Amino acid sequence: MLKWSCRRFSAFVLACALGGAAVTAQAGGQVEEPLADSVRTALSMAVGRGAAPQLAFADAAQKASCERWALALEDKLRKRKPDELVRREFLVTVCYEAKRAGLEPTLVLGLIQVESGFRKYAISSVGARGYMQVMPFWARTIGNGDASTLFHMQTNLRFGCVILRHYLDREKGNLFLALGRYNGSRGRAEYPNMVTAARRSWQVPAADAAIQMADAGAARSVSR
């Protein structure tokens, strides 16, 4: 019986999943930079130390707010994701992972639109993968080393949100510079402007209200 290595088997499974139809993306080129041990450890913990991420809402109210947010945006995403269950799961997960990282969900949607056009298996010319175009070196640096997991929806969103949060922290909250770092084009305006414009297109009053209610509820809980 032919025995395959884990690496060859993973590659085979990935090829089957892609069905030979992986689409090249033009965005996504984070630059690998040295990380202090403390930063690497913190980022590794933030992504879950290689474990498959799970939705773990703080309470029923937080879950309900993300579900309301997803419902308000479903029509806008219908053409890109026609399957209702897939569309709903994607939006709820975007909301969860964005809020978990302290980001606005509409910002994450805008970034995904620019980076991959909402294509799960998008691959850039420099090898960045998935919805948020995460570079494979991140799987080695803060994950389990298996870059194929970056095609898993929640894993990709988890990494992408944690990385963007990391860049925001490095740039002391400056979104323009953080987005530049995320794309590997720090200091140039084209990419941040594209993401900002895409973000605005996802700002729907009903969706924004759902998130604001959740934030207000969280603030009240902290103040008690």
Tell me the mean pLDDT in the region 153-182: 97
Q: Is the pLDDT of residue 26 over 70?
A: no
Helix (H) or strand (E) holding 123: strand 123-124
Instruction: Please say whether the beta carbons of 182 and 108 come within 8 A.
Output: no
Transcribe 125-181 into DSSP letters: TT--BTTTTB-THHHHHHS-S-GGGGGSHHHHHHHHHHHHHHHHHHTTT-HHHHHHH
What confidence tier does 41 reach under pLDDT thresholds 50, 70, 90?
very high
3-class SS at 19?
A: coil
The more confidently predicted of residues 25 and 48 is 48
Tell me the mean pLDDT in the region 62-87: 95
Helix (H) or strand (E) holding 210: helix 205-223
pLDDT tens digits for range 76-132 = 999 999 999 999 999 999 999 999 999 999 999 999 999 999 999 999 988 999 999
Tell me the mean pLDDT in the region 202-206: 86
What pTM was computed for the model? 0.83
Instruction: Please say whether the beta carbons of 133 and 115 come within 8 A.
Output: yes
Helices 105-116 and 153-170 pack at an angle, to 10 degrees, of 110
